[in-house]
Amino acid sequence: MAATDANPARDGLRWLATKRVTLGVITLLLAVFVFELFVWWHLGAAGWQYIFLAHLRPSPGWVMAPFSHRSISHLLTSLSVIVVYGGLVEETLEPATYFAFYVLAGYASTVAQLVEYLNGLAGLGTLGASGAALGLVTFFTTTTAARYRHDPTAVTTIEKLFAVTGGLIGVLILTNDFVPGIVFTTGTAPLGHAGGMAAGVWFGVVRGRAQ
């Protein structure tokens, strides 16, 4: 009877409902996207770019870029990663630490991409939460791997599955962004992705040493 009563979707929603910081981040990104639509409608493309894109010229985009997205598909891609890995990370970090790390990874991503522009890469600017989302992925993968090395029995099968999946996500992103001739997705921010991922690995190592 217990097997027939199992409902993965319901159980997943119940699990997510306990992740208040992750839900707060999701709400924030959705609210910013609604604001983006409002700005685009009233100020047009130029106003939207000034407020939400981070480029070499100082602008509000330096603040807003890590929370902004260019399209609904761009937003949904970020949210799908944050829902899973944000929830997993929230189980291991204090709420304030988790949110501070998320923001740090987001701005590390933006700064890294601006460095790439400074070195001559063409582009209108960068925005998006993908760097922060990938920071969550690499943080979870790094800390789970460290726990497994210390005590394999301390890591559940589900954690192993998502850690391996996180590693594969990282490899695919880096391959897409940096291996010549292999492009799964166009229009990405190579150093932006790398910056967020590096922040996750760095904090995972720091966290592991502190425990």
Q: Tell me the mean pLDDT in the region 142-148.
A: 95
Sign of the torsion angle spanned by Cα atoms 51, 52, 58, 62: positive
C-alpha 106, offset from chain centre: 7
**Residue 2: its pLDDT value, please?**
46
Read off the pTM. Answer: 0.92
Helical (H) or strand (E) element with 78: helix 72-81
**Cα–Cα distance measured from residue 197 to residue 211, given in angstroms and rounded to the nearest whole number:** 21
If pLDDT is split at 50, 70 and 90, which confidence band does 61 have? very high
Average pLDDT, the chain: 92
Encode pLDDT of 84-125 as tens digits: 999 999 999 999 999 999 999 999 999 999 998 888 776 678
pLDDT tier, 29 (very low <50, low <70, confident <90, very high otherwise) = very high
pLDDT in tens, 166-195: 999 999 999 999 999 888 888 888 999 999
pLDDT at position 196: 97
Query: What is the band of 139 on the pLDDT scale with cuts at 50, 70, 90?
Result: very high
For residue 53, the model assigns a pLDDT of 96
Do 90 and 21 form a contact (C-beta atoms < 8 A)? yes
Sign of CA dihedral 53, 114, 201, 97: negative
* Residue 5 pLDDT level (bands cut at 50, 70, 90): low
Predicted local distance difference test score (pLDDT) of residue 122: 67
CATH classification (class only), 2-210: mainly alpha
> What share of the chain in percent tops pLDDT 90?
80
